[in-house]
Amino acid sequence: MATLSPPRRVLSVRRHLWVVLSLERELDCRQSRPPISLQGSEAEDRVKRDGGVSDSECRPDSGVPEVPVATDDTPEVLNKALSGLSSRWKNWWVRGILTLAMISFFFFIIYLGPMVLMMIVSIKCFHEIITIGYSVYHSYHLPWFRTLSWYFLLCVNYFFYGETVTDYFFTLVQREEPLRILSKYHRFISFTLYLTGFCMFVLSLVKKHYRLQFYMFGWTHVTLLIVVTQSHLIIHNLFEGMIWFIVPISCVICNDIMAYMFGFFFGRTPLIKLSPKKTWEGFIGGFFSTVVFGILLSYVMSGYRYFVCPVEFNNDSNSFTVDCEPSELFQLQDYTLPSVLQSITGWSTVKLFPFQIHSIALSAFASIMGPFGGFFASGFKRAFKIKDFANTIPGHGGIMDRFDCQYLMATFVNVYIASFIRGPNPTKVIQQLLALRPDQQLHIYNSLKAHLTERGLLATQEEAA
């Protein structure tokens, strides 16, 4: 940490300064050169946009130089296979192949169990955003900071997953002694872990780098807020039933693809200055096709128990089971069509799963609000002058690029379920009941008995309490 004597420190600062200045001079008002790899038609319009930069934007904000441009990362095999085609179509094919690969991978993971997927994705997203922070602030060599970022990620993940495990694996937890103690004092332990990280941060503050360190601290926390809470909510939705995980994500992906297609074939009126390639035709076309897709997909999926039942942990077999009596939401019901539709289609009633009605709400949200998540990420990339979050997926950029539209979707689905679908979780209620004091339990017992007797669910029994 503070081991350099002052003169040497100033020298390294000066060297630092020189690097910054030379980067700045290079960047200052030059015509933006095309990025090294043209990855998809989006890159072309990025060139067009950046080319129009005026001189006042050329000067970056004080003290914050730009991130070097991403390089071409397409694997050799694909390059060889597509060497004949022109550059534009080659990129189209690369993107297409990778898209198909990702979708198949997605279904494969669904078959295996999505929790692992979510954990890996969230860790990778966190890593990508933090790396951008390092590049933006040249803070890669800040003492302790890499350790601290990962430590905070671990803490917050521990807290959230601990809560989930306590909720859903209640009986397993009660059986094992160490797990029981961990879950009883879970909040206290998580808080202590976080505090340790906080104290380490304060102790690691170095005289010359206060502002940088605070920036990175803030950056880490905002990233945690976005990435970890979203992934946690996705897991919550998953436990409600895999359909609540699959349908929202598929709707967002479908909206992406459909809006792109409609924009490609019919696009004319630009939608927003932030993303010049988006068009109103793409937006509206994407909206309607996503709604239709959502209805059809939920029709297909509602028939299978594997997707519809809440994931539960069976204590006897020590494994996850998805076996249950499907709730009302997933049973075919007759709906009378309004007269307008009756005259068009000639049917008087139609059989639908109630879930399909909900899926209309989900896909409407995905089409209307999902793009805002995309604009947010575009603005972020413009602000920090990066083309992609990372280079993990050739043709598509980093993991964050694929998941940017999903930001708000997971939260929306979770809030939707909590508000309109699900009541409280019975296991959780029992848990809380058993934690009360005996006199409170007795009081609740009597109230519940009165309530159930009123409802006629309890026959009058011989033993009156």
Q: Give 300 or 415: the residue with its C-beta nearer to another protein.
A: 415
Q: Give 207 or 268: the residue with its C-beta nearer to another protein.
A: 207
Tokens (6 digits) for 256: 């992406």
The interface with another protein within residues 210-239 (CB under 8 A) comprises 210-211, 213-214, 218-219, 221-222, 225
Cβ of residue 52: shortest distance to another protein, in angstroms?
9
Cβ of residue 384: shortest distance to another protein, in angstroms?
7
Tokens (6 digits) for 413: 């689905």
Q: How many residues bind another protein (CB under 8 A)?
A: 91
Instruction: From 46, 133, 45, 55, select the one nearest 387 (Cα to Cα).
Output: 46
Cβ of residue 445: shortest distance to another protein, in angstroms?
5
- Rounded Cα gap, residues 137 and 21, in angstroms: 14
Among 184, 270, 315, 347, binds another protein (CB under 8 A): 184
Q: How far is CA 437 from CA 17, 171, 187, 441, 442, in A?
A: 65, 20, 21, 6, 9
The interface with another protein within residues 51-70 (CB under 8 A) comprises 54, 56-57, 59-64
Q: Give 221 or 351: the residue with its C-beta nearer to another protein.
A: 221
Cβ of residue 125: shortest distance to another protein, in angstroms?
16
Rg of the chain, C-alpha, whole Å:
27
- Based on the number of CB atoms within 10 Å of its own CB, is 205 exposed (0-12), middle (13-18) or buried (19 or more)? middle
Strand, helix or coil for residue 458: coil
The interface with another protein within residues 348-387 (CB under 8 A) comprises 369, 372, 375-376, 379-380, 382-384
Compose the 247-276 pattern: x for residues touching another protein by CB under 8 A, - for all others: -------------------------xxx--
Classify each residue of 182-196 as buried b or exposed e, where b means 16 or more C-beta atoms within 10 Å of its C-beta.
bbeebeebbeebbee
**How do the residues of the chain divide into helix, strand and coil, expressed in percent and rounded to 5?**
70, 5, 25
Cβ of residue 162: shortest distance to another protein, in angstroms?
13
The interface with another protein within residues 436-465 (CB under 8 A) comprises 436-438, 440-445, 447-449, 451-452, 455, 457-459, 461-463, 465
Compose the 401-440 pattern: x for residues touching another protein by CB under 8 A, - for all others: -------x--xx--xx-xxx--xx-x--xx-xxxxxxx-x
Q: How far is CA 7 from CA 140, 158, 211, in A?
A: 22, 44, 21
Cβ of residue 459: shortest distance to another protein, in angstroms?
8
